[in-house]
C-alpha cells in the first residue's frame, strides 16, 4: 500500500524538547545550537539573530538549558523558530564547580550522541545528571562520576565489577583493567598492576549500582581515585578524553 503523501508544510516544521549541549557563532549575529533532543538524537540548528541585543530567544539557548523548541527542517541545518525555556539550570550555570561538572556532562553526551539516532536513555540520563547537580549535592564531582559510569553503560561499556572481566571467574576481584572493561582475577591481571583498596572499590560499586551520591564516610582520597579511574575508563573506550573534566576541582 502506498503511504499517504505528506505535504511539504507538514514535514517542514517540528517540535522537540532538548538540552543544549553547546553553541558556536555563525556569521555576525547567528549561532549554531547543538542539542540532544528527546526524539531525534543530536540536532544541529541555527538560531538566527541570537547575538543581537533584544533577541527573542535571549539567553534561552545556552548550554545546559532544557528547552521546548519549534524547528524548521532546513536543507543542511534546521532553523529554530521558537524556543521556550523548561529549565535553565541556573544553579549549575552560576557556580564554578557545578558548571565544570555540567560542562563535562554535556561534553560526554555530545561525544556519544549521534545525529538522527534517538537515544531516550542518554536524554533521560543527561537531564537526571543536571537535576542532581542543581540540588546541589555534597560532592558534585562524585555525581559527575556516577553520570559518567552510566554514560559508559549507555555507550555499551558497562564496567564489569562482580566477576573477572577477563575469564568470568566469580569473586571479589580488586585489580581494575581498563582494556578488559572491569575488575580481573590475579591470573588475568597484567604483571605489575596494583589492586584497588577496599574503599575505592566499594565506592566504584556503589556508583555503578545506580547511586548518585555517597555517604559522608567516604574519604576524599577514595573519591579522587574513583574519579581518575572512571575518567581513564571512559577515555580508553571512547578514544578521547573530556576537556571539561580537567576543570573540575577535586
Residues that bind Zn ion (CB under 5 A): 164, 166-167, 169, 185, 188
Nearer to Zn ion by C-beta: 100 or 188?
Answer: 188
Q: What is the rounded CA–CA span in Å between residue 228 and residue 219?
A: 15
- CA 18 to chain centroid, in Å, comes to 13
Minimal distance, residue 61 CB to Zn ion, in Å: 49
Nearer to Zn ion by C-beta: 98 or 180?
Answer: 180
Of 190, 196, 188, the closest CA to residue 229 belongs to 196
Nearer to Zn ion by C-beta: 122 or 185?
Answer: 185
Minimal distance, residue 169 CB to Zn ion, in Å: 5
Nearer to Zn ion by C-beta: 129 or 166?
Answer: 166
Minimal distance, residue 183 CB to Zn ion, in Å: 9
Q: What is the rounded CA–CA span in Å between residue 241 and residue 234?
A: 7
Minimal distance, residue 168 CB to Zn ion, in Å: 7
Q: What is the rounded CA–CA span in Å between residue 159 and residue 204?
A: 10
Minimal distance, residue 230 CB to Zn ion, in Å: 22
Nearer to Zn ion by C-beta: 141 or 184?
Answer: 184
Amino acid at each position: 500500500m502506498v503511504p499517504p503523501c505528506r505535504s511539504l508544510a507538514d514535514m517542514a516544521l517540528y517540535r522537540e524538547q532538548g538540552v543544549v549541549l553547546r553553541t558556536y557563532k555563525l556569521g555576525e549575529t547567528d549561532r549554531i545550537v547543538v542539542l540532544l533532543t528527546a526524539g531525534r538524537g543530536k540536532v544541529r540548528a541555527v538560531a538566527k539573530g541570537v547575538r543581537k541585543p533584544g533577541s527573542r530567544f535571549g539567553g534561552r539557548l545556552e548550554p545546559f538549558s532544557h528547552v521546548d523548541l519549534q524547528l524548521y527542517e532546513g536543507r543542511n541545518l534546521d532553523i529554530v523558530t521558537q524556543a521556550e525555556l523548561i529549565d535553565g539550570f541556573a544553579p549549575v550555570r552560576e557556580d564554578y564547580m557545578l558548571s565544570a561538572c555540567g560542562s563535562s556532562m554535556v561534553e560526554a553526551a555530545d561525544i556519544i550522541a549521534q545525529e538522527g539516532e534517538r537515544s531516550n536513555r542518554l536524554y533521560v540520563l543527561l537531564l537526571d545528571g543536571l537535576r542532581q547537580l542543581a540540588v546541589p549535592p555534597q560532592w558534585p564531582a562524585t555525581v559527575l562520576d556516577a553520570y559518567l559510569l552510566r554514560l559508559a553503560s549507555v555507550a555499551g561499556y558497562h564496567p564489569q565489577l562482580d566477576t573477572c572481566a577477563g575469564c568470568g571467574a566469580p569473586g571479589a576481584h580488586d585489580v581494575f583493567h581498563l582494556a578488559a572493561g572491569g575488575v580481573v582475577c590475579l591470573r588475568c591481571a597484567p604483571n605489575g598492576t596494583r589492586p584497588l583498596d577496599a574503599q575505592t572499590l566499594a565506592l566504584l560499586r556503589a556508583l555503578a549500582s545506580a547511586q548518585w551520591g555517597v555517604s559522608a564516610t567516604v574519604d576524599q582520597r577514595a573519591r579522587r581515585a574513583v574519579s581518575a579511574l572512571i575518567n581513564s575508563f571512559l577515555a580508553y573506550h571512547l578514544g578521547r578524553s573530556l576537556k571539561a573534566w580537567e576543570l573540575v576541582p577535586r
